[in-house]
């Protein structure tokens, strides 16, 4: 018997097929205002980030740091922008991703990953640090930066999968009474809420797609994604392939 809790395209085969069978209870209506490429990112990417941001809360009182500006980090910046974040700072090691974050006006400041990041972020925030940090890189050094640049009583969410982290609990966490949350994927009811918000905000996840490939070139899509020199990479059906480039 099929495990009803198994994820499509992961524990269930068919994520890279022309068609697959889905259970009715798992389906979420896609409004006419959103494209298939928008909807495809509601579950993984934008949905994953939305879950994490719901845990820490982001609003106009907050400067937000995002470490890792791959598709998940770009989604974090896009949602934080719509939630009214006062300042958004992005950190990545890949110049193409830093450039994309600037071009899409998702980050107010972008920094190349370096040992100077803590000092740079403190300078950009008047010496205080950020109220919220969203860690999307799974890189040990970036995780440490996210924690150490979060100000007193601040909140951090770890979303990036894998890797390790090294902290000094007393100065990094305890004395400033910070909170770290872990967040993994999301629920169908939050996906339904996110779809509603995307329409209300006029936010289109497809805007972070930089490259589109047909199914027969899926291997090329994965290779490009592995290089990091891109935004979101989409494997598309015919009607999505011929859309104008961003």
The sign of the CA dihedral 36, 37, 40, 46 is: negative
- The reported pLDDT for the residue numbered 16 is 84
205 secondary structure, DSSP code: G
Per-residue tens of pLDDT for the chain, all 246 residues: 355 568 888 888 888 888 888 899 999 999 999 999 999 999 889 999 999 999 999 999 999 999 999 999 999 999 999 999 999 999 999 999 999 999 999 999 999 999 999 999 999 999 999 999 999 999 999 999 999 999 999 999 999 999 999 999 999 999 999 999 999 999 999 999 999 999 999 999 999 999 999 999 999 999 999 999 999 999 988 777 876 554
What domains are defined for the chain?
A: 46-182 (3.40.50.720)
Pairwise CA distance, residues 131 & 63, whole Å: 6
What does the buried/exposed string (b/e) look like for 110-148 if buried means 16 or more CB atoms within 10 Å of the residue's CB? bbebeeebbebbbebbeeebbbbbbbbbbbebbbbbbbb
Q: How far is 68 from 190, CA to CA, in rounded Å?
A: 23
Q: What pLDDT score does 1 carry?
A: 38
């Amino acid at each position: 018997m099929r495990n009803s809790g198994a994820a499509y395209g992961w524990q269930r085969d068919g994520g890279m097929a022309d068609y697959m069978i889905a259970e009715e209870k798992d389906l979420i209506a896609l409004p006419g205002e959103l494209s298939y490429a928008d909807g495809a990112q509601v579950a993984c990417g934008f949905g994953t980030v939305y879950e994490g941001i719901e845990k820490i809360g982001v609003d106009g009182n907050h400067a937000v740091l995002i470490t890792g500006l791959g598709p998940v980090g770009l989604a974090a910046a896009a949602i934080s922008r719509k939630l009214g974040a006062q300042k958004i700072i992005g950190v990545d090691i890949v110049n193409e991703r830093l450039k994309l974050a600037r071009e899409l006006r998702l980050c107010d400041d972008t920094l190349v990953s370096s040992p100077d990041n803590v000092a740079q972020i403190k300078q950009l925030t008047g010496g205080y640090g950020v109220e919220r940090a969203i860690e999307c890189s799974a890189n040990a050094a970036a995780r440490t930066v996210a924690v150490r640049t979060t100000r007193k009583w601040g909140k951090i969410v770890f979303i990036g999968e894998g890797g390790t982290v090294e902290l000094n609990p007393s100065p990094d966490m305890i004395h400033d009474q910070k909170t770290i949350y872990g967040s993994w994927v999301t629920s169908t009811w939050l996906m339904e809420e996110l779809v509603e918000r995307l329409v209300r905000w006029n936010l289109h996840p497809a805007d972070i797609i930089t490259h589109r490939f047909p199914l027969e070139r899926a291997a090329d899509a994965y290779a490009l994604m592995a290089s990091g020199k891109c935004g979101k990479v989409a494997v598309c059906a015919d009607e999505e392939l011929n859309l104008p480039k961003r």
